[in-house]
Chains A and B, each alone.
Chain A
């Protein structure tokens, strides 16, 4: 790990991507991820890489598809409305089993929504997003340090499993400045014999494709892909447990919501209420087992989200409705404060007594 530098979250992602061997970036301007593209525009030409401002998000993700097909590390970044546009390409990338990284620095929606932070693309990110049966590995950083670390990790996971990965951040994560130790320089450790680099007239031609007109073949392909997803679920779940040893109430929160929740936990514990937190770092695969285990001992879960309540459904599924799960949320670019979380806990205690 290098010396700490002060960076914005968006810039930390960009620099971490470069250090992970990414030399190709395609994007389209949108708030609140602009610093990321600006960073790439400055750096890429100096290191022999590609920065290209595409004509649309759709084009950008298809340029990503091209580079990924050639076997090189590649990324694009956007914010919610732009990520909606990318869904076509993301589905093709998933369907062609290509590694690529997509960054979503979320803002409020639906529609044009607003430009303030949000987590309301949770469903879109974790359930597929585009058409067809597929998943992305979705990583949710809660600090500028994690913006950098998870970017490097996301490239490794993408290569390892030949699938698209996503950093699901939000406007605060993108804009905030914190000291960060940037990851070491690396590059892909995985051979890519499937890449379309030219046959050199020495092998059969490679084809990057997601079309299978014979339904038996498409079904088989989907089954195989879901076997791969099962391995991801088995091996790649990441989460943080915070003060869960003696917790009677369990907050589940990711990203900025988890940071606010930590303050609420400190305040609750000062009042003698035993609150802890499970912070999913991978939103897909979701830390189901950790939640299920917590359900054995806590009285209730509080899902703290910057949305109308999306992750709450996964919490209920994971703990199989054994304990109540309540929502503590703000939306549209608003952020819950510790007082609101405390109030939710107070109401829960009142309700339970």
Chain B
């Protein structure tokens, strides 16, 4: 009996991501959630600009490629036109927390009934490793070659903490994909974010702390160690807002 195989919500197109890039894991988790909820036929995904720009080739559902940062606005249009469909966005840190911050915050505060998958790897990958809104203090990137200097460029943005201050959103949760246990927890969170939409609960954002071995200049496994030792302390995992839960952490 097959206990683990590629989900149906992924196409057969080989992923273009670098070796060890965790986008592949996160794509699979989204696809598994879609499969398990039986919503492949009515799901429409919105791809970002960034490394995941070609996600429209990888997800087997209908897909829209959005302009940089605009995915939540595009998803809003799709959801308002087709309330019975399931709409998700898949966005990186530059897309969601820099150029698209307004779209993110306002979709959240409207409690727009969409699912947002936010991949935070603290760097702009597609363009070759520039400083992201979530790059850590001191982190060396192409555009912070002496390390992120918080005195001149400010501090990283903690998206979950910030959005959870809003009354609007239904679910704001941060997960990571650095080990098997966390990947399984991430899967559960992503599935819940889709279930919330099906149940009409509203805006559910899952931030997935992930790695970028190529632009961090590390092996894939060292990148996951760096993630655990540096990213997670700055971006603590957990549920930041869950309006339906009786007790919120």
Question: Direct A–B touching in the complex (beta carbon < 8 Å)?
Answer: yes
Chain A neighbourhood of B63, CB < 8 A: 196, 205-209
Chain A neighbourhood of B66, CB < 8 A: 62, 65, 92
CA A89 to CA B70, docked complex, whole Å: 9
New contact pairs (12) apart from A198-B85, A207-B57, A207-B63, CB-CB < 8 Å: A24-B81, A58-B70, A59-B73, A62-B103, A66-B74, A66-B78, A196-B63, A199-B61, A205-B60, A208-B64, A208-B65, A209-B64
Chain A positions within 8 Å of B, measured between CB atoms, are 24, 26, 50, 52, 54-56, 58-60, 62-70, 72, 74, 88-89, 92, 96, 196-202, 205-211
Which of B43, B73, B79 gathers most chain A CB within 10 Å?
B73
Chain B neighbourhood of A196, CB < 8 A: 44, 62-64, 78
Pick 6 A–B contacts, CB within 8 A, sort by A: A24-B77, A67-B81, A89-B67, A89-B70, A199-B61, A211-B54
In the complex, the answer to whether A199 meets B102 with C-beta atoms within 8 Å is: no
Chain B neighbourhood of A67, CB < 8 A: 77-78, 80-81
CA A199 to CA B64, docked complex, whole Å: 13
Closest to B85 in A: A198
Contact of B77 among A56, A62, A201, A210 (CB under 8 A): A62
In the complex, the answer to whether A63 meets B61 with C-beta atoms within 8 Å is: no
Give the number of residue pairs across the A-B interface with Cβ within 8 Å. Answer: 132
Chain A neighbourhood of B33, CB < 8 A: none
CB interface residues, B 67-107, toward A, < 8 Å: 67, 70, 73-82, 85, 102-103, 105-106
The number of chain B residues touching the other chain, given as a range, is 35 or more
CA A39 to CA B74, docked complex, whole Å: 23
Chain A neighbourhood of B105, CB < 8 A: 55
Which of A67, A74, A205 gathers most chain B CB within 10 Å?
A205
Whether, in the assembled complex, B41 has its beta carbon less than 8 Å from a beta carbon of chain A, the answer is yes
Whether, in the assembled complex, B40 has its beta carbon less than 8 Å from a beta carbon of chain A, the answer is yes
Contact of B73 among A66, A96, A199 (CB under 8 A): A66
> What is the distance, in angstroms, from B143's C-beta to the closest C-beta of chain A?
23
In the complex, the answer to whether B41 meets A200 with C-beta atoms within 8 Å is: yes
In the complex, the answer to whether B102 meets A59 with C-beta atoms within 8 Å is: yes
Whether, in the assembled complex, B59 has its beta carbon less than 8 Å from a beta carbon of chain A, the answer is yes
Chain A neighbourhood of B85, CB < 8 A: 197-198
Closest to B59 in A: A205
Given known A-B contacts A59-B73, A89-B67, A197-B85, A205 and B80 have beta carbons under 8 A apart: no
In the complex, the answer to whether B42 meets A66 with C-beta atoms within 8 Å is: no
